[in-house]
Amino acid sequence: MSDTHLEEVSTADVDNDGQSPPDADQGPKKGIEVPLGPPTVVVQRLSVHYRVASKERESQDATRAQRAARRIGWDRTVTVKAVDDVSFVARAGEAIGVVGHNGSGKSTLLRVMAGLETPTKGRVLAHSTPSFLGVNAALMPELSGMENVRLGLLAMGMTPKEVREAIPDVVELAGIGRSVHLPMKTYSSGMGARLRFAISAAARPEILLIDEALATGDAASKERSEARMAQIREQAGTIFLVSHAAQTIEEMCTRAIWLHQGEMVLDGPAYETARAYRWWAWNIAKGETAKADVLLEAARAQLRATVVQPEDTSTDQHLSRHSSRN
Ligand SMILES: Nc1ncnc2c1ncn2[C@@H]1O[C@H](COP(=O)(O)OP(=O)(O)OP(=O)(O)O)[C@@H](O)[C@H]1O
């Protein structure tokens, strides 16, 4: 990315996914800096492609065979490249944000890293099993928040004694007050998300994957979540955080990866990457597609200039194959 672009980015500020106009410049921010430890996750040339039936009408140049197949009821299939040839190395002490427009592959990347999905190509090596906190984490809507906390902690392998000791901390981190005694089905999505984050963070996993849980919440709960994330990183953990809110990534992460239609277009310091993404998203929202294309290409060029292929690192002997397809 050129210097000119960086200057432009630092003077423009947009809310979340580029849906609001830029605010005034708030001056340069530094982002979070931490000493880095050894690799905890290595993602090598990872692709997840889905074959899906499409009801879309054939184009003019559909072959006769395609038209005939359609007449006898066979649907046309298309390939969706949810994640396409993505590689990176994550280290202890990093909090890595994953940004990108709807459908850019963020959740799919996390699901594969969690071992919930098998990649079409490539592999994920991890030092220990990542703990996945998704928006749809299986909590029981009929049970109260507190009952879900107990079940969730037990399900993560804690003993009943550990659960009892952890509960006050989880409840405080969730920051939902007395609502913790109400059924979860009565919670707002933000309350549910914060409870899930609190449960998952209580296990103090070495690798924590968080999907869209922290974008909501008031200033106090955001601060508590940030403090907990810092704690996990200090204990030599690695966090991945998917969020549409680029600002959340800037505030909570050390590094960010920008995915676009399954492709990794930028990987760098959280502040710069999230800013670059926000600037692109703002142009998309304004219909400035030519400008957005230039920004996307600039990001790709910067990635090409800085990328270190995971194959180049000789540091993964201590990692086990977590998810793979060669
Ligand atoms: N099981 C599936 N079968 C077919 N296509 C899928 C499946 N899961 C995801 N996709 C497609 O893969 C692409 C990436 O989806 P994914 O949910 O990873 O994106 P995302 O960046 O997390 O999106 P969002 O920000 O909207 O949550 C999308 O085009 C989506 O439609």
Report CA(82)–ligand 1 centroid distance (Å): 6
Report CA(262)–ligand 1 centroid distance (Å): 9
Q: What is the pLDDT of residue 8?
A: 24
The residue extents of the domains of the chain are: 3-46+85-130+205-325
Answer whether 200 contacts ligand 1 (Cβ < 6 A): no
Separation CA 173–CA 60 (nearest Å) = 57
Separation CA 36–CA 236 (nearest Å) = 8
Q: What is the pLDDT of residue 68?
A: 77
Answer whether 52 contacts ligand 1 (Cβ < 6 A): yes
Return the closest-CA partner of residue 170 out of 185, 150, 144: 150
Report CA(17)–ligand 1 centroid distance (Å): 17
Walk along the chain (326 residues) in steps of 10 and give the mean pLDDT of each run.
26 37 44 73 94 71 73 76 95 92 91 89 89 65 92 83 92 89 90 82 80 62 72 78 82 92 95 93 94 96 78 54 59
Residue nearest to atom 27 of ligand 1 (CA): 102
Q: What is the pLDDT of residue 34?
A: 63
Separation CA 73–CA 268 (nearest Å) = 48
Residue nearest to atom 23 of ligand 1 (CA): 103
Report CA(263)–ligand 1 centroid distance (Å): 13
Separation CA 229–CA 224 (nearest Å) = 9
Residue nearest to atom 5 of ligand 1 (CA): 50
* ipTM of this complex prediction, to 2 decimal places: 0.97
Q: What is the pLDDT of residue 210?
A: 81
Report CA(175)–ligand 1 centroid distance (Å): 30
DSSP 56-89: SPPPTT--HHHHHHHHTTPPEEEEEEEEEEEEEE
Report CA(267)–ligand 1 centroid distance (Å): 20
Separation CA 115–CA 305 (nearest Å) = 31
Q: What is the pLDDT of residue 260?
A: 96
Q: Please identify, in words, the CATH class of the domain defined by 3-46+85-130+205-325.
A: alpha beta
Tell me which of 81, 104, 117 to substitute to probe ligand 1's pocket, judged by most ligand atoms within 8 Å of the beta carbon: 104
Does pTM top 0.95 for this prediction? Answer: no
Residue nearest to atom 18 of ligand 1 (CA): 105
Answer whether 105 contacts ligand 1 (Cβ < 6 A): yes
State the CB neighbour count (10 A cutoff) for residue 48: 23
Report CA(103)–ligand 1 centroid distance (Å): 5
Separation CA 198–CA 224 (nearest Å) = 10
